[in-house]
Homo-oligomer: A and B are copies of this chain.
C-alpha cells in the first residue's frame, strides 16, 4: 500500500540519494537512455518516483507547469476538456514517455492514470540542470518533441478528415505497433490488450461510444478483427486494416 500525499499522488519512497535510476525498467525506452549508467546517481538526485492509482488525475490543464514526468509503468490518458464536458483525448502515454513538452507556463492538457501507474517526476529546475550537464538530453528531448509533433499531424488528419471506420482502423494499427515494440511479446502476436475503456477510445477518436462499439463490431463481421473480450482484440488482417487506416 502507498501513502497519500496532499497533491493527490503517492510517493513510493523518498529516494533522496538512492539509485532508482540504475534499476529503472523504463530507462531504455525513455530520454534517460542517453545518460550512461555511471551517471545514474546524478539523474536520481533530480528525480523522484511516485505512484498514481487507477483513475487518479496527476496533471491538471491550466495549472502551472512546474514538473515534468516520465511514465515508468502503466498507462495514462492526456486530454482537454470543454466547459460543457466534451472531452478530447490528445494522446495515451506508455512506459518511457516523457510528459510535459506541450506546456508553456501552464500545462496544456490534463493527465489521468488508466491503470496503476508509476512515474518519475522532475522539477523544471532539476531538468534544466540535467539538460545543462548532459547535452545529449537536449537532443533527445528535441527528438521526443519532433516525434510528438509528427504524431500530432497525423492525429489532426484523423480527426479532421477520416471516417469512423478509418479512425478505428488507425487506432487498432497504432496500438498494434505500440504493443509489438514491447520486449515480452512475440512479434507475430496480433492480439491487443487495450488499457482504455470504450469511452476513452471514443474521446481519442472524436466519436461516441456507440459509434466505436458499432464500428468495431462491423470490423469483426467483416473478419478483419476478433473481439475476444472488451479489452482483448485480435487483428486478423493487418494489411487490410493498414490500408483502411490510410484511407485507400
Query: Which residues of chain A from 85 to 126 have any CB-CB distance to chain B below 8 Å in the complex?
Result: 86-88, 90, 101-104, 108-109
Query: Which residues of chain A from 71 to 93 have any CB-CB distance to chain B below 8 Å in the complex?
Result: 80, 82-84, 86-88, 90
Bound form: Cα–Cα A138–B138 in Å: 8
Bound form: Cα–Cα A139–B101 in Å: 12
For A102, give the chain B residue with the smallest CB separation. B149
Instruction: Give chain B nearest CB distance to A145 CB in angstroms.
Output: 4
Are A109 and B153 also in contact (CB < 8 A) when A161-B87, A248-B84 are?
yes
Query: Which residues of chain A from 145 to 181 have any CB-CB distance to chain B below 8 Å in the complex?
Result: 145-150, 152-157, 159-162
B101 lies within 8 A of A161 (CB): no
Q: Which residues of B contact A18 (CB under 8 A)?
A: none
Query: Which residues of chain A from 196 to 231 have any CB-CB distance to chain B below 8 Å in the complex?
Result: 203, 205-206
Find A102's partner among B90, B104, B150, B161 (CB 8 Å cutoff): B150
B102 lies within 8 A of A146 (CB): yes
A86 lies within 8 A of B161 (CB): yes
Q: Which residues of B contact A103 (CB under 8 A)?
A: 146, 150
Q: Which residues of B contact A108 (CB under 8 A)?
A: 149-150, 153-154
Bound form: Cα–Cα A159–B88 in Å: 9
Give the interface of A toward B (CB within 8 A).
80, 82-84, 86-88, 90, 101-104, 108-109, 138, 141-142, 145-150, 152-157, 159-162, 203, 205-206, 246-248
Q: Supply 14 A–B pairs (Cβ within 8 Å), ascending by A.
A: A80-B156, A82-B161, A83-B247, A86-B247, A90-B157, A102-B146, A103-B146, A138-B138, A152-B153, A152-B155, A152-B156, A156-B159, A159-B159, A160-B205
